[in-house]
Chains A and B, each alone.
Chain A
Amino acid sequence: MGTRERNIEINMDKQSFEELFRSFFPSLVLFAQKYVPDQDTAKEIVHNVFINLWEKRQQVDSGSPLKSYLFTSVHNRCLNYIRDQKKFDKDDTIFQRLDSTDFSDGVDRLEEQELEQRIYDALQSLPEKCREIFMMNRFDGLKYAEIAEKLGISVKTVETQMSKALKILREKLIDYLGMIILFILTHLN
Chain B
Amino acid sequence: MSGGKMDKRDQNIDIELIVRHLSGESSASEEKELKRWLAADPKNSGLLNQYRRVWEKLGKIKSVAGIDLDAEWNILESRMEKSGKIVSLQPGLKRSAAYYLGRIAIAAMLAVILTFSGIYVVNRYGYKTLATMDQPEEIVLPDGSRVTMNHFSSLKYPRKFTGEIRKIELEGEGFFEVESDPVHPFVINTRDVDIKVLGTSFNVNAYSENAAVEVTVKTGEVAVTRHGEVPRTIVLKPGNRGVYKKSEETLEITQDIDKNYLAWKTKSFVFEDQTLLDVSQQLNKVYQAEIFIDSDSLKDARITTTFDNQSLDAIINVLSATLDLDVRTSNGQIILSETN
The interface residues of chain A lying within 8 Å CB-to-CB of B112 are: 153-154, 156-157
**Cα A168 to Cα B61 with chains together (Å):** 17
Cα A6 to Cα B65 with chains together (Å): 25
B171 at interface by CB-CB < 8 Å: yes
**Chain A, range 141-165, C-beta contacts under 8 Å to B:** 143-144, 150-154, 156-157, 159-160, 162-164
Q: Do B61 and A151 have beta carbons less than 8 Å apart? A: no
A143: min CB distance to chain B, Å = 7
Whether B209 sits at the interface, judged by CB under 8 Å, is: yes
Contacts of B171 in A (CB 8 A): 127
- Find residues 83-107 in chain A having any chain B CB closer than 8 Å to their own CB: none
Within 7-58 of B, Cβ neighbours of A (below 8 Å) are at: 12, 15-16, 18-20, 22-25, 50-51, 53-55, 57-58
Contact present for B209 and A168 (CB under 8 Å)? yes
Q: Which of A29, A54, A167, A170 contacts B64, CB < 8 Å?
A: A29
- Is B75 in contact with chain A by the CB < 8 A criterion? yes
How far, in angstroms, from A74 to B109 measured CA to CA in the complex?
A: 43
Does A123 contact B58, Cβ atoms closer than 8 Å?
yes
Instruction: Tell whether B328 is near chain A: CB-to-CB under 8 Å.
Output: no
Residues of chain A within 8 A (CB-CB) of B2 are none
In the bound complex, how far is the Cα of B71 from the Cα of A21, in angstroms?
12
B contact residues, total (Cβ < 8 Å):
58
A68 on the interface (CB 8 Å rule)?
no
Q: Could you mark each residue 3-45 of chain A with 1 if its beta carbon is under 8 Å from any beta carbon of chain B, else 0?
A: 1000000000111001001100111011001000001000100
Q: Quick check: B247 and A177 within 8 Å, CB to CB?
A: no
Among A50, A119, A132, point to the contact of B57 (Cβ < 8 A): A119
Q: Is the CB of B108 within 8 A of A152?
A: yes
- Closest residue to A151 on the B side, CB-wise? B108
B79 contacts the other chain (CB 8 A): yes
| Chain B residues, Cβ within 8 Å of A27 | 64
Partner of A128, one of B22, B63, B100: B100
Task: Choose among B72, B119, B247 the residue with the greatest number of A CB atoms under 10 Å from its CB.
Answer: B72
Does A174 lie at the interface of the complex (its beta carbon under 8 Å from any beta carbon of B)? yes
Report Cα–Cα, A113/B161, bound state, in Å: 50
Tell yes or no: A138 within 8 A of B by CB. yes
B69 within 8 A of A: yes
Task: State A22–B60 Cα separation when bound (angstroms).
Answer: 19
Given contacts A151-B104, A164-B133, contact A139 B83 (CB under 8 A): no
Nearest-Cβ distance from residue B3 to partner chain A, whole angstroms: 22
Beta-carbon contact of A21 and B76 below 8 Å: yes
| Contact of B85 with A54 in the complex, beta carbons under 8 Å | yes
Report the nearest B residue to A140, measured CB to CB. Answer: B66
| A175-B123 Cα distance, complex, nearest whole Å | 40
CB of B107 closer than 8 Å to a CB of A:
yes
- A110 in the interface, Cβ–Cβ < 8 Å? no
Contact status A30-B61, CB under 8 Å: yes
In the bound complex, residues from chain A placing their C-beta under 8 Å from that of B124 are none
If A156-B114, A164-B152 touch, whether A129 touches B209 (CB-CB below 8 Å) is no
Q: Does B116 contact A (CB under 8 A)?
A: no
A6 to B107, CA, bound (A): 38
A123–B19 touching, CB < 8 Å: no
A55 vs B80: C-alpha distance when bound (angstroms): 8
- Which residues on A sit within 8 Å (CB–CB) of B92? 15, 18
The minimal Cβ–Cβ distance linking B72 to chain A, given in whole angstroms, is 6
Tell me whether A47 is interfacial, beta carbon within 8 Å: yes
Q: Which of A54, A139, A156, A180 contacts B66 (CB 8 A)?
A: A139
B183 at interface (Cβ–Cβ under 8 A)? no
For the complex, give the distance between the alpha carbons of A116 and B51 in Å.
17
C-alpha gap A15/B112 in the complex (Å) = 40
How far, in angstroms, from A39 to B67 measured CA to CA in the complex? 10
Enumerate the 5 nearest inter-chain pairs by beta-carbon distance, A residue then B residue, closest first: A152-B108, A151-B108, A125-B209, A26-B64, A14-B89
A residues with a Cβ closer than 8 A to B are: 1-3, 13-15, 18, 21-22, 25-27, 29-30, 33, 39, 43, 47, 50-51, 54-55, 115-116, 119-120, 123, 125-129, 132, 135, 137-139, 143-144, 150-154, 156-157, 159-160, 162-164, 166-170, 173-174, 177, 180
- Listed A/B pairs (21) with beta-carbon separation below 8 Å: A1-B246, A14-B80, A14-B89, A18-B92, A25-B69, A33-B63, A39-B63, A47-B72, A50-B76, A54-B85, A55-B83, A127-B208, A128-B103, A139-B65, A139-B66, A152-B108, A159-B20, A160-B119, A163-B19, A166-B19, A169-B58
Given A55-B85, A168-B152, 6 new contacts (CB under 8 A)? A22-B73, A30-B60, A54-B83, A123-B58, A163-B12, A169-B58
